Amino acid sequence: MELIQVGEKTYYLSNPTNIGIYLVDDCHIYLIDSGNDKDAGKKICRIVEEKGWKIKGIINTHSNADHIGGNQIIQNRISCDILGNQIEKAFTEYPILEPSFLYGGYPFKQLRNKTLLAKESVVLPIDENLPDGLEYFSLKGHFFDMIGIKTSDDVYFLGDSLFSEETISKYPIFFLYDVSEYLHTLDFLSTLQGRLFIPSHCEATTSLTSLIDCNRKMIYEILNTLCDICKNEMSFEEILQAVFLKYHLVMNENQYVLVGSTIRSYLSYLCDQGRLCYRFDQCRMLWSLGVGDSCE
């Protein structure tokens, strides 16, 4: 982790999941996310101690395990507050909800791993506890109630609202819960004016234009790909197989639930838009471009 100052009171730790730091006074800070596991939490504590700072609280942009993984060890060490928003608060307090939601039932042992299942922590509602100098705003789409944070230095932390071109090239089916909300979030991001923008998995940037365009382009490509796949009736598993083969993805337990959940979200969006329909045949749910039980 590299500590980088980007404003009078604003820093971030450059990391696979970038971690924001905001000074509320000369020695107390709030973290924005806490990394992917207890080792990340330990590194954060060490860096903070070397600077002579004390962690007053952690603000989680959302409840995915790579953003809350350091919560428990930090909270246990120093009894700091953790702030979360609505459904994200619940998932952070009861992290078994994430792999259960992704799998659609009780997750088997191989899904109860640190990538999908963080350690629980005690969370306060962000509305009532956000410190002076910070603002939060909605960034729905990637997850239920994800937020971004703006600091008094005009620096924006944007959670998983945007992914880099390099990440998309490697993982074209990046995780989405709600496609419609995500497209609205991209529109919202295009209106922001700030001094610096820091997505969780991209380099800090002064302009979001190319990132927004890249992410939006990929969304529409996946939508068109699914419509093309569904020219013939397909079950969900057949659609998922076709997506993995087209994009040369490697199937494993994590990718099955992450990509699988995302594809279901795309299918829901296309169904709501009237571009795809489904019907039931011989106890199978089949998706297609034609008229089905869902189109009246």
CATH class of 2-137: alpha beta
Q: Spell out a b/e string for 116-128, using b for 16 or more CB atoms within 10 Å of the CB, else e.
A: bbbbbbebeebee
Count the Cβ atoms, other than its own, within 10 Å of residue 237: 10
Residue whose pair of structure tokens reads 């571009």 in the numeric block = 275
> How do residues 9-28 score in pLDDT, each as one tens digit?
999 999 999 999 999 999 99
DSSP 216: H
Count the Cβ atoms, other than its own, within 10 Å of residue 44: 24
Indicate if the alpha-carbon torsion angle 219, 220, 224, 227 is positive or negative.
Answer: positive
Token readout for 231 is 């020219």
Residues 267 and 145: their CA atoms lie apart, in Å, by 21
Q: Is the pLDDT of residue 82 over 70?
A: yes
Confidence bin at 198 (pLDDT 50/70/90): very high
Average predicted confidence (pLDDT) for the chain? 96
Q: Read off the pLDDT of each residue in 151-164 and give the average, rounded to a whole number.
A: 98
The pLDDT value given to residue 291: 63
Q: Under CATH, which number does the domain 229-288 receive?
A: 1.10.10
The CA angle 23-27-28, to the nearest 5 degrees, is 55
DSSP 36: S
Q: What is the pTM of this model?
A: 0.95
Count the Cβ atoms, other than its own, within 10 Å of residue 240: 21
Q: Is the pLDDT of residue 46 over 60?
A: yes
Count the Cβ atoms, other than its own, within 10 Å of residue 232: 12
Q: Which class for 277: exposed (0-12), middle (13-18), buried (19 or more C-beta within 10 A)?
A: buried
Residues 267, 222 contacting (CB under 8 angstroms) = no
Map out the domains of the chain as residue ranges: 2-137, 229-288
Confidence bin at 292 (pLDDT 50/70/90): low
